[in-house]
Amino acid sequence: MRRDIFQAIADPTRRAIIALIALQAMTPNAIAENFNTTRQAVSKHLRILTECELVKQEQQGREIYYSLEIEKMKEIDNWLSQYRKIWETRFNQLDNILSTIKKQKK
Amino acid sequence: MMNTEKTAEAGSNSLLFDFTVDKAAKTVNITREFDAELSLVWDAFTQSELLDQWLPPKPMTAKTKYQDFKVGGKRFYAMITPEGQERWAIQTYTSITPKTNFKMYNAFADKDENPELPGSEWDHHFSEHNGTTKVYISIYNESLERLERILDGFTKGMKMSLSNLEELLAKLSHK
């Protein structure tokens, strides 16, 4: 089952991880140093983010580096701006209906 | 950075339109002013004959099979693409304070009224100042994938009608 992106970004630790690796690719250990939690917990968050395709892994030597999938984040913003457009259209239609009804009443 | 995106802009008639997304809270917040008295705007949001006229973004249309506007009552309706494809949904009213507030649960459904869960929780607030009515809507979506599906339906409808227009224009230009 594909993971839900809202779920991914609803967790405060995962949002903090996203903010961290948005600046530079990091190893799980380096990421874990920023949190008051176990390395295992951070790994679990990274796994969820990877399943959502919000982060990608890259092997460099013996280390795995995690970095942000900027395109995926943009995709979310893209949906949301489309949703905003739909509401703009709806409300313009409603403006027209309201003004028609007001004229009929007069 | 990614919790809230805020965009506010005044329309040509300087009526407020504010659209914010709180991704962490999985909530879309929409505020809009209308140049009409509250009772009229309330009707436009709660009577299916009016809802069917403005809620489907053109060229989509809508039809309501039945509506029972009371707590526990429902509106069963469909958004229809220009090609006649129907997307059914059920709204269940969970709270109503006349001309002030109403809440509902919105879920996609098949044509036999079987809901596809999860849906979304809608909250509407109405207030009037000097003949201008302000409506505040918050929409809580359990999943973003659901939002993705909503948009998918709309963009398909739009694209199909655009390709129809292209065909029509091509036909006309050959004459």
The CA distance from B123 to A13, in Å, is 29
DSSP A1: -
Ranges in chain B, pLDDT < 50: 1-12
Whether A94 sits inside 8 A of B150 (CB atoms) is no
Paired tokens of B7? 């965009």
B128-146 pLDDT, tens digit per residue, is: 999 999 999 999 987 766 6
B45-76 pLDDT, tens digit per residue, is: 999 999 999 998 888 899 999 999 999 999 99
Angle at B20 between CA A67 and CA B80, to 5 degrees: 100
The CA distance from B165 to B175, in Å, is 16
CATH of A1-68, one of 3.30.2290.10, 1.10.8.60, 1.10.10.10, 3.40.190.10: 1.10.10.10
- Could you say which of B54, B142, B143 has the minimum Cβ distance to residue A94? B54
CB-based contact A45:A36 (threshold 8 Å)? no
Angle at B81 between CA B80 and CA B86, to 5 degrees: 40
- Could you say which of B34, B57, B142 has the minimum Cβ distance to residue A95? B34
Between A76 and B94, where is the model more confident?
Answer: B94
Confidence (pLDDT) at B101: 98
Confidence (pLDDT) at A15: 83
Confidence (pLDDT) at B159: 59
Confidence (pLDDT) at B128: 96
Task: Return the CATH number of the domain spanning residue range B4-174.
Answer: 3.30.530.20
Confidence (pLDDT) at B13: 55
Q: What is the 3-state secondary structure (H, E, C) of chain B?
A: CCCEEEEEEECCCCCEEEEEEECCCCEEEEEEEECCCHHHHHHHHHCHHHHHHHCCCCCCEEEEEEECCCCCCEEEEEEECCCCCEEEEEEEEEEEECCCEEEEEEEEECCCCCEEEEEEEEEEEEEEECCEEEEEEEEEECCHHHHHHHHHHHHHHHHHHHHHHHHHHHHHHHC
- Rounded to the nearest angstrom, the minimum Cα separation between A79 and chain B is 7
Which of B3, B19, B29 should we substitute to test contact with A (largest number of A Cβ atoms within 10 Å)? B19
The CA–CA distances, whole Å, from B41 to A69, A97, B33, B103 equal: 43, 10, 10, 16
The CA distance from A97 to B50, in Å, is 8
Question: In this complex, is the C-beta atom of B154 within 8 Å of any C-beta atom belonging to chain A?
Answer: yes
- Segment 8-27 of chain A within 8 Å of chain B by CB: 9-10, 12, 15, 18-19, 22
The CA distance from B6 to A66, in Å, is 29
CB-based contact B133:B36 (threshold 8 Å)? yes
By three-state DSSP, how is residue A27 classified?
coil
Question: In this complex, is the C-beta atom of A7 within 8 Å of any C-beta atom belonging to chain B?
Answer: yes
- Could you say which of B40, B57, B144 has the minimum Cβ distance to residue A5? B144
Confidence (pLDDT) at A83: 85
Question: In this complex, is the C-beta atom of A93 within 8 Å of any C-beta atom belonging to chain B?
Answer: yes
A12-55 pLDDT, tens digit per residue, is: 788 889 888 888 899 999 999 998 888 999 999 999 999 888 89
Q: Which residue does chain A place closest to B1, by CA atoms?
A: A19
Q: Where are the domains of chain B?
A: 4-174
Residue A40, CB-side half-sphere exposure with 13 Å CA sphere: 0
